[in-house]
């Protein structure tokens, strides 16, 4: 209990020591308190600043590949009575085209950076 009381006192002291509008104090689980002035805490994110582009590339590629495979190699047998024998051709072509455009746009944006 003393370590929690001590960290609460350190937290209160860190908040009171600076400008309340910009000073932030964070209590860590190990009893330490970190005070910072609202700047950047972590400089890099997962996969850097390009996370959205990488996700667009992955989703566009998956959309393209999945729909092309549904057209090229449909399942041998429907799994149940509600399944179609083959994928609707126009919908699959449209979705594959959308996935292709999104994937190429994301790839071009990543290369341009």
Per residue in 3-31, pLDDT (tens digit) is 555 555 655 565 555 544 444 555 555 55
Render the burial of 33-50: b for 16+ CB within 10 Å, e for the rest.
beeeeeeeeeeeeeeeee
Answer yes or no: are the C-beta atoms of 4 and 11 closer than 8 Å.
Answer: no
Which secondary-structure segment (H or E) carries 24? strand 24-27
Angle between helix axes 89-112 and 51-72 (nearest 10 degrees) is: 150
Confidence at residue 103, expressed as pLDDT on a 0 to 100 scale: 98
Q: Global pTM?
A: 0.57
pLDDT at residue 75, rounded to an integer:
83
pLDDT per residue over 62-104, tens digit each?
A: 999 999 999 999 888 888 888 888 889 999 999 999 999 999 9
Q: Closest Cα partner for 8 from 22, 24, 21, 26?
A: 26
């Amino acid at each position: 209990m003393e370590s929690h009381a001590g960290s609460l006192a350190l937290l209160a002291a860190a908040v009171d020591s600076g400008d309340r509008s910009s000073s932030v104090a964070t209590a860590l689980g190990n009893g330490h308190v970190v005070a910072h002035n609202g700047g950047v805490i972590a400089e890099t994110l997962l996969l850097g600043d390009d996370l959205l582009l990488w996700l667009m590339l992955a989703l566009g590629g998956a959309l393209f590949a999945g729909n092309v495979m549904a057209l090229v190699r449909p399942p041998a047998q429907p799994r149940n009575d509600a399944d179609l024998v083959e994928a609707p051709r126009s919908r699959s072509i449209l979705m594959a085209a959308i996935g292709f455009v999104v994937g190429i746009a994301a790839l071009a944006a990543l290369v341009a950076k």
